[in-house]
Amino acid sequence: LPVSSTGHMILVEEFLKFQDEQFSQMFLVVVQLGAILAVVLLFWSRIWPFRFTKRERGESIIDWKIMQMWFKIIVACLPAAIVGILFDDWVFYNAYVVAGALIVYGILFIIVENWNKGRKPAITSVTEIGYDTALIIGIFQLLAAVVPGTSRSGATIIGALLLGVARGAA
């Protein structure tokens, strides 16, 4: 589900009021790490580019289609990383901004999903996504870098759908 784990953690902190700053930071790390590990375990065979077993003679140890996907992911992350590093101090990390973003982007997601129904996608697979499209999709991540409570995955999915990428590939 494209939800902002950081946004939800900000809301949890608002209600639970952690007294110990170190505990609060560790809590955020553990929750985020758990979510990341769950995704990695679930999609391991689709994201790990190295093949050490069941290879045909002369076949590469590296799955270059998966490596290309990783290169495109890096390109897509560059805009948000640059803006996030440069303007992190200007972002408003408070419960009201997060709650508003969760609502607004939740509604936006429903609107884009409904608009996208019945449309024939121009790009139907991840391998068809070019570096230029990956960069534009990455620019949509800026929504998450600037407004806490915006899901990075949700922003990239919305961006990809608006660019004509099929839902599964988005």
Looking at residue 17, what is its pLDDT?
79
Looking at residue 71, what is its pLDDT?
93
Give the integer Cα–Cα distance in Å for 104 and 117.
20
- How does the average pLDDT of the chain come out, rounded? 84
The answer, yes or no, to whether residue 56 has pLDDT greater than 80, is no
Among residues 28, 37, 13, which one has the least CA distance to residue 95?
A: 13
What b/e string do you get for 127-139 counting C-beta neighbours within 10 Å, with b at 16 or more? Answer: eebeeebbebbbb
Confidence of residue 21 (pLDDT cuts 50, 70, 90): confident
The answer, yes or no, to whether residue 165 has pLDDT greater than 70, is yes
The answer, yes or no, to whether residue 164 has pLDDT greater than 90, is yes
Looking at residue 68, what is its pLDDT?
92
